[in-house]
Structure 1
Amino acid sequence: MDIGAQASAFLVDYSPYLLILSWTILGIGVAQNLVYALQLPAAWAELRERSQAEDSESAFQLLISDVAMPISLVVPGYNEEATIVESVRSMLSLRYPDLEIIVVNDGSKDGTLQALIDAFQLQPVTRAHEEAVKHQPIRQVYGSSMYARLLVVDKHNGGKSDAINAGINLSRNPLFCVVDADSLLEIESLLSSVRPFMEDPRHMIAVGGTIRVLNGCVVKNGQVIQSGLPRKFLPLVQYMEYIRAYLMARLAWSRWGILTLISGAFGIFRRSVAVEVGGFTHGTVGEDYELIVKMHKHMRNQDRVYSLRYVPEPVCWTEAPETLKVLSNQRKRWQRGALEVFFRHRDMLLNPRYGKVGMLGFLNNLIIDVLGPIAEVLGYILMPLFWIAGVFSFDFFLAYVALFFAFGVFISVCSLILEELELRRVPRASDLALLLGVAIVENFGYRQLTNVWRIIGWWEFLRGKTSWGTMTRKGFGPKPGSEAAMTITPKNA
C-alpha cells in the first residue's frame, strides 16, 4: 500500500475524531472572537464616559493644586546607553508638582552608568531606606548636582523585576510609576494617570496608560515634537497592534473591573499594596502581569474593596523592534510570561473566591493566551488538509476562513475607527488610509507568523527558559549638532 492510500485509510478510520478536532479549533476561534466583539462596545462606552482628551483645564488645576499625590518614577535599565540620557531628560521635563525620579542601573555591562554620571553630574550620596521587598545588593547611590529630584541607583544585576524592587525600596512616596528606560512620557502623562487615584483615593491601587510606537516620530530634548507613522513595515504593523491591544482590550477590561495587565513600560501603583504582595516577582519575564494578578489575589483574599483602571490619554512612547529576530524574541518572551503567570495562579481560574477576575479574566487568559496560539496554528495546518481530504464540507472550511481572517480585519478596522472618533491621534488622512491598509494586510501573514512565535514561546516555557533575549535599541536622542526644541531648567539656574 502506497503512502497516499495509507493516508486515505487513516482519514477514513479517524474522520469522526478529526471532525471533533476541527470543531474544537473552530470553537476556540469563536470564543476568541466573541471576546473581541464584546470588547468593542465596552471600550467605546468607557471612552465616552471617562475621556480626558479635551479636559486640559482639569489637568492644569491639578498641576497647581496641593492635592496631587507625590509620585516616585522608577526607571529600571540594563544596557540602555543608547537611550537612557534622553529618556531621563524627558522625565525631568514632566509637568507634575511632586515627583522624584529613581533610575536603577541593573548591573549594565555597557556605558549606561557613565552616560548618566556625565550627563547629570552625579555624585555618590547616602540614602536611608527600608528593605521592604527583596533585591540584589546596591553598589552605590548617586545624586545629581543639577537636579534635586533625580536619584540613580547602581546595583548588581538581578533582572528587571529585581531592579524595580530596588526602586520601590528607595522611593519615599505613596505612589510609584514604572517606566522603561527606553521610553518617553508625554509631558502631562502623569497628571492624567494620577486622576483615578484622586477620584477614588481609598480604593484605587493601580492605573495603566497607553503605549505607542515611537518609530517615525521626531524627538528633541526628551520630547516627541512631531508624531508620525513608522516608515518600515514591522514597526508599522506593531503600531496597529498597540491601538487594538490598548484602546480596545484594556479599556473594556477596565470598564468590566477585571483588568489583569498593566504594562510594565508605564503603570502607576500604590506602594503599600505592592509591598504587601512582595513587590515584583523574581525569575519571571511577565513581572508586570504577575504583579497585577498578585494584587487582585491579595485584595480578594482579604475581602478588601479595590479598583484598577486603564486611562487611554497618558501616552508613553517606546521604540518598537524593526527586525524579525528582535520582534520574535519579544513575542516569545511575552508568551512565556503569560503562561508563567497563568499556571502559577491557575487556582484562580473559575474560582468564585476571586470574583470576575477568576471567573472571566482568567477564563479569557485561558482562551487567548493558553489555547489560542495552539488552536490557530493547528488550524492553519490542518483545516485546509481536512477540507481537501473530505473530512468536512467546503461550507465548514469557509466558515473557518471567515472567522479567523475576515473577523480579524473587522476588529482591527473598528479599533482604528474608535481611536479616530475619540482620541484623534492620527492627524493626516493619508496616514489613516495607510493604517487601514495595515489593518487588513496584517491578517494575511503577519498574524500567522506571530502565532508561530507564540508556539515557540510555549515550547520555551515547557523547557523552563527564563532569559529575556536581546532587545537592540537604535536610540532616539538628537544627533550631534542638532538644536534642542525644549530647555530643562536645572534647580540652581
Structure 2
Amino acid sequence: MTDSWRQMLIEVASVTAWTVIVFGLIQTTVYLLQLVVAAYALSKRPPVARSGLLWHRYGDIAPPISLIVPAYNEQINIVESVHSMLALEYPAYEVIVVNDGSKDETLKRLIDAFELLAFRRPYEETLKHEPIRAIYASPRSDRLFVVDKSNGGKADAQNAGINVSRAPIFCVIDGDSILEPDALLRAVQPFIEDPERTIAVGGTIRIANNSTIESGRVKTVRLPTRILPLFQVVEYLRAFLMARLAWSRINTLMLVSGAFGVFRRREAVAVGGFTKGSMGEDLDFVIKLHRHMLDNKRDYRIEFIPEPVCWTEAPETLAVLARQRSRWQRGALEAFFRYRGMLFKPRYGRVGFLGFGHILIVDVLGPVMEVLGYVLMPLFWLTGVLSTEHLLAYTALVFVYGVFVSVASLILEELELKRFPRPRDLAILTLAAVAENFGYRQLNNFWRVKGYWQYLRADNNWGEMTRTGFSKQG
C-alpha cells in the first residue's frame, strides 16, 4: 500500500471513528436528559395511594371503560388473561375479546371456559375492519363479550373492538397479558382529574416469567430464572420508568404500549383508528393522535403513569426474541417515514423537534451507527489505522455509560414501585444490568439492523411468537 493510500485510509477511519463517537455522545446526552427528567418527575409525584383509597376517591366518578383484547393464536394464556380482567377493581367496564381468525383453539377455549353463547349486539362500523362472523356473550358474566372475526391483523382487530365498544374510554391490552387488580383505576386518574385534555394514558409493562399466576392474578413476583427474560426485565425498567416518564413529563410521549394503553374513543375514531397492517400499530396510533390534536390546535395530554402494571410473558429463546425485536424496528421505521413530514416542522412544536428527533436518533440512525461501531472500530484498530485512544474512548462510551443508565433505571424503579422487595432480587437485577451491556445489547442492535433490512425489502411477515403459558409458571 502506498503512503498516499494509507494516509487516505487513516483519514477515512478517523472520520468514521469520530462520527460514530460523536453520534454515541448525542445518544448518551439524550439518555442522560431522560434520566434527569424522569428522576425530577418522580420527585414531584405524590405518594402512591392504596387501592382502597383510590376506590373511595374515584369509585363513584370513574368513567365506563371498554377493555379491548385482540387475540390471535393465544390459546395458552387467553383464559387466564380474561379471568384477570373480569376480576379487576373497577366500577363500570366491559371486556371485549376480539378473536382475529385464530388458527388454534383460542375461540374454543373461551367458549368452553365461559360457556359463551351467540349474542346479538348492534354496533356501527365507524372504523373499517375485516368482517365479524359472530359475537358471543357469557351467562356467567355480563361484562364479557367475544367477537369472532376474519383475520386482519392486530390493528384491524382493535378497530373491530372499538366499533363494538360502547364506553367513552377504551383500554387495549394484549391477549397474553394480565392486569393488576387496581390497574384500570390507577390508569384512569388523568381522565378524571383532567377530562378535557387527557386523550391517552400508558402504564407499566412487567415481565411475568417465573412468577406465580393463580386465577388471573400475580400471587408471587419472582425474577425469571432464564437469562433472556432477566435481561428483558432490566430493559423494560429502562424503557418505561426512565424514557416514557421523562417524555410524558414534557408532553412529548410518542409511544403508549399496545400491550396496555387507555384512550378516549372520540379521538380514536377521529383519526381513523389504528392503521391496518402496521408493524408498530401502537407507535403509529399515538403519532396520529399528536398530529390530529396539533393540526386542530387543541390543548391535550398524553401521559405515562408508572403505578398501573400489566404483566406479560417475555420471549425465552433467541429465535423468538429476534423476531420480536426485528418487528419492533420495522414498526418504528414504518411510522417514522409515514409521518416524516412532522419532523422538525414548527407547527408540531416539541413533538416535531423532540419526539421525532428522538425517533430519528434512536430508531432510524441508532442501530446502524452502533453496529458500524461494533464492526469497524476494532477492525480499524487491528489494522493500525485507528489509535488506541480512539478505541478506548468508544469502548468507554458503549459499556461504561450503558451500565450507568441500566443501574440508574433500577434505582428509580426501587424508589417508585418497589416491586422487588427482596435484597437478593435487587442484587441479581444489578448484576443483570451490568451484564446486559456485554453481548446482549449488541445482539439487540444486530436484530434491529436485520429489521431495517426487512423494512427496506418490504417484508411484512409478523413472525410467530411462541408462548409457554402462565399456567406453567411458578
CA contact (8 A) 1:221 1:478 kept: no
The match for 1:39 among 34, 40, 55 is: 34
Return the alpha-carbon distance in structure 2 between the equivalents of residues 128 and 54 of structure 1. 39
Q: TM-score, normalised by structure 2?
A: 0.98
**Structure 2 match to 1:126:** 120
Q: Which runs of 5+ in 2 are unaligned?
A: none
Instruction: Give the one of 183, 192, 212 matched to 2:177.
Output: 183
Query: Is the aligned partner of 1:166 residue 2:130?
Result: no
Residue 371 (str. 1) matches residue 369 (str. 2): no
State the Cα distance separating 1:51 from its structure 2 match: 4.9
Structure 1 pair 179/387, CA: closer, same or farther in 2 (3 Å)? same
Larger deviation, residues 359-368 vs 379-388: 379-388
Distance 1:316 1:11, change over 3 A: farther
Q: How many angstroms apart in 2 are the aligned matches of 1:126 and 1:304?
A: 38
Counterpart residue identity of residue 32, structure 1? Q
2:330 to 304, 317, 336: 336
Q: Secondary structure at the match of 1:269?
A: strand
**8 A contact 1:62–1:191 mirrored in 2:** no
Residue 282 of structure 1 aligns to which amino acid in structure 2? Answer: K
What pairs with 1:421-460 in structure 2 (closer than 5 Å)? 421-460=415-454
Which of these residues, 291, 297, 307, is aligned with residue 285 of structure 2? 291
CA contact (8 A) 1:116 1:122 kept: yes
2:188 counterpart SS class: helix
Call closer, same or farther: CA 1:11–1:142 in 2, change over 3 Å.
farther
User: What are the equivalent positions in structure 2 for 1:235-254 lying under 5 Å apart?
Assistant: 235-254=229-248
Distance 2:465 2:114 in 1: 26
Alignment partners' CA distance in 2, 1:13 and 1:225: 63
Superposed displacement of residue 216, structure 1: 1.4
What CA distance in whole angstroms lies between the structure 1 residues aligned with 2:257 and 2:5? 47
Residue 75 of structure 1 is aligned with which of 69, 78, 82?
69
SS of match in other structure, 1:409: helix
One of 24, 27, 32 as aligned partner of 1:29: 24
CA contact under 8 A between 2:13 and 2:386: conserved in structure 1? Answer: no
Report the secondary structure of 1:91's partner residue: helix
Match of 1:391 in 2: 385
Give the TM-score taking structure 1 as reference length.
Answer: 0.94
State whether structure 2 residue 136 is matched by structure 1 residue 136: no
Match of 1:415 among 391, 401, 409: 409
The answer to whether the aligner puts 1:50 opposite 2:50 as a matched pair is no
CA drift of 1:27 comes to 1.4
* Distance across 1 between alignment mates of 2:25 and 2:169: 40
**For 1:149, what is the secondary structure of its paired residue?**
strand
Separation in 2 of the partners of 1:411 and 1:41? Answer: 11
Distance 1:10 1:357 in 2: 46
For 1:270-281, list aligned pairs within 5 A: 270-281=264-275
Identity among equivalent pairs (%): 56
The residue type paired with residue 34 of structure 1 is T
2-side partners of 1:478 and 1:101: how far apart?
25
Unaligned runs of 5+ in 1: 483-493
Determine the structure 1 residue equivalent to 2:355: 361
Quote the offset at 1:41 in angstroms.
Answer: 1.6
- Correspondences of 1:145-160 after superposition (within 5 Å): 145-160=139-154
CA distance in 2, matches of 1:93, 1:131: 30
Question: In structure 2, which of residues 226, 240, 263 is the aligned counterpart of residue 232 of structure 1?
Answer: 226
1:21 deviates by 1.6
Whole-Å Cα distance in 2 between the matches of residues 295 and 453 of structure 1? 29
* SS of the residue 2:224 aligns to: coil
What is the number of residues matched between the two proteins? 474
Change (3 A) 1:218 1:399: same
Distance (Å, rounded) in 2 between the aligned partners of 1:84 and 1:11: 62
Are 1:205 and 2:230 counterparts? no
Matching residue of 1:95: 89
1:477 pairs, out of 464, 471, 474, with 471
Is the CA contact 1:222–1:477 (under 8 Å) kept in the aligned structure 2? no
Q: Distance in 2 between matches of 1:279 and 1:467?
A: 22
CA–CA distance in structure 1, aligned partners of residues 77 and 469 of structure 2: 5
1:437-480 CA-to-partner distances (Å, cap 9, x unmatched) read: 1011100000110000000000000000112101011111379x
2:345 is matched with which residue? 351
Question: Which residue among 211, 231, 252 is the counterpart of 1:258?
Answer: 252
Distance 2:147 2:73 in 1: 14
Question: Greater CA deviation, 172-181 or 12-21?
Answer: 12-21
**Residues 299 and 305, structure 1, Cα contact 8 Å, conserved in 2:** yes
TM-aligned CA deviation for residue 424 of structure 1: 1.1
Say which SS state the counterpart of residue 178 (structure 2) adopts: strand
In structure 2, give the amino acid aligned to 1:225. Answer: K
Q: Give the letter aligned to residue 61 of structure 1.
A: H
Point out the more displaced range, 258-267 or 416-425: 416-425
* CA pair 132-11 structure 1, distance change in 2 beyond 3 A: farther
C-alpha separation in 1, matches of 2:282 and 2:96: 18
Tell me the distance in 2 between the aligned counterparts of 1:424 and 1:54.
Answer: 14
One-letter amino acid matched to 1:33: T
Q: Secondary structure at the match of 1:368?
A: helix
CA distance in 2, matches of 1:284, 1:331: 15
Query: Partners in 2 of 1:52 and 1:10 — Cα distance?
Result: 65
Whether the 8 Å CA contact 1:207–1:310 is kept in 2: the answer is yes
Determine the C-alpha separation between the residues in 2 that align with 1:464 and 1:373. Answer: 18
Instruction: Give the partner amino acid of 1:74.
Output: I
Mean Cα displacement is larger for which, 262-271 or 466-475?
A: 466-475
Write the deviation string for residues 191-235 of structure 1: whole angstroms up to 9, x where unpaired: 000001111100100000000000010000000000010000000
Aligned to 1:148, the other structure's residue is in SS state strand
1:19 to 8, 14, 18: 14
Residue correspondence of structure 1 range 300-311 to structure 2 within 5 A: 300-311=294-305
CA contact 1:336–1:460 (8 Å) conserved in 2: yes
User: What is the CA-CA distance between 1:19 and the residue it aligns to?
Assistant: 1.7
CA distance in 2, matches of 1:398, 1:27: 14
